[in-house]
Amino acid sequence: MTGLVVVLAYALGATLGVASARSARLAGVWQRIIRFQIVLVSVGVSILAAWRLEGIADLGWPMLAVGITVVIMSVAWWTTPRGSDRTGRAVLRGWSANANGGFWVIPVATAIAGAPGAVFAVIVDRLYIVIFGFFTWVLRRNAPEPQRMRTSWIDQAPVIALGVGLVLNVTTDTPAWTATALEWAAPLLALSGAAVFVGSVLHPSQRIPWRPGMRIWALLSAVRLALFVPAALLAPTPEIAIAFVLFGFTIPAFFPPQLSILYGYRDAVVAATARWGWVWAAPGVAAALVLWSLG
């Protein structure tokens, strides 16, 4: 796996996203496309990651990343104005400011450090799924746009898949091919994630003013960097350090704009993050490459 493959996958996905945003027909069925992508890509990676988990000791450093996520979500809640929509908006803001594990850290860590880099990043991202599964439930419950019960299992499919992977982990030996599958999942995650994210950001329902959200975006970004960068410097292995630095210097989380469309939210902080969160990508890749060369 080369970094060039991942970069090309991102570029192709973004191009497809821009093209889809220009189609009124696709805009009308975009909610179905989002849910299809959740099932097709996220579920497979969840199963593979849980299947390859070697022991409870593997969860120590990943749990630190989860703790940082909780801090960011708490700051998002504290900075969201009171009101009937506070809960949903705070969840979306905190989620958008958190690391993009599935579509950024996993592909880039894999491109730099190979399968060993992917394993740690995937474990952290799957732990995120448990937390964000709860937040998805919160968003559905407070959604401005009423949701059908039959779509709930689709929205929670990554959590269900994580359970399937853990059952396989306990009941069967982990096949060697799962490591290769995780490595080659990186460009698929990059391509599909970029396509659906860009298409969601440019969706008619999300074309809202983003400037009012810049101040909170900057604050939440500063909190994330202040926590993840020191963790990277203290990490016990180069692979964990690379993952942590990429969690800190992250591109925007892809799911908040998508879930905003599914559930009917419109938030300026989410819009600002989707547009300006990309400034951290280049410093993140540079820092990860330096850590890998020193390791």
pLDDT the model gives residue 76: 95
Query: What are the two backbone dihedrals, phi and then psi, of residue 176, each rounded to the nearest 5 degrees?
Result: -65, -30
3-state secondary structure 6-42: HHHHHHHHHHHHHHHHCCHHHHHCHHHHHHHHHHHHH
pLDDT at 152: 67
Helix or strand or coil: residue 264?
Answer: coil
- Is the pLDDT confidence value at 83 over 90? no
Q: How many residues does the chain have?
A: 295
pLDDT of residue 287: 93
**Cα 129 to Cα 246: distance, rounded to the nearest angstrom:** 18
What is the rounded average pLDDT of the residues 18-26? 75
Q: What is the DSSP letter of 95?
A: H
- 8 Å CB contact between 232 and 174: no
Residue 104 CA to residue 119 CA, distance in Å, equals: 14
Q: pLDDT band for position 140 (50/70/90)?
A: confident
DSSP state, 148? Answer: -
Q: Average pLDDT for residues 250-275, to the nearest whole number?
A: 89
What is the mean predicted confidence (pLDDT) over 8-34?
76
Of the listed ranges 23-27, 97-101, 149-153, 255-259, the one predicted with least confidence: 149-153
pLDDT, average across residues 96-107: 85
Q: In the prediction, which pLDDT does 57 show?
A: 46
Q: Is the pLDDT of residue 273 over 80?
A: yes
Instruction: Judge whether 108 and 120 are in contact, CB under 8 Å.
Output: no
Cα(11)–Cα(8) distance, integer angstroms: 5
Average pLDDT over residues 276-281: 92
Spell out the domains of the chain, with CATH numbers in brackets.
3-294 (1.20.1530)
Residue 53 binned pLDDT confidence (cut-offs 50, 70, 90) = low
Q: Show the tokens assigned to 220.
A: 């939440």
Amino acid letter for position 61: W
Least confident of 2-16, 57-71, 84-98, 254-268: 2-16
- Show the tokens assigned to 168: 């396989």
**Of 25-39, 68-82, 137-151, which range is least confident?**
25-39
Which pLDDT tens digit goes with each residue over 231-261?
999 988 888 899 999 999 999 988 888 888 8
Tokens of 213: 């959200």
Judged by average pLDDT, the poorest of 101-105, 114-118, 212-216, 259-263 is: 114-118
What does the mean pLDDT of the chain come to? 82
Higher pLDDT, 121 or 276: 276
Highest-confidence segment of 52-66, 99-113, 129-143, 243-257 = 243-257
Joined together, the tokens standing for residue 10 give: 């991102």
Are 123 and 147 contacting, i.e. CB atoms less than 8 angstroms apart? no
pTM of the model: 0.78
Does pLDDT of 56 surpass 60? no
Cβ atoms 86, 92 nearer than 8 A: no
Per the model's pLDDT, the better-predicted residue between 234 and 155 turns out to be 234
* Angle between helices 106-141 and 157-171 in degrees, nearest 10: 120
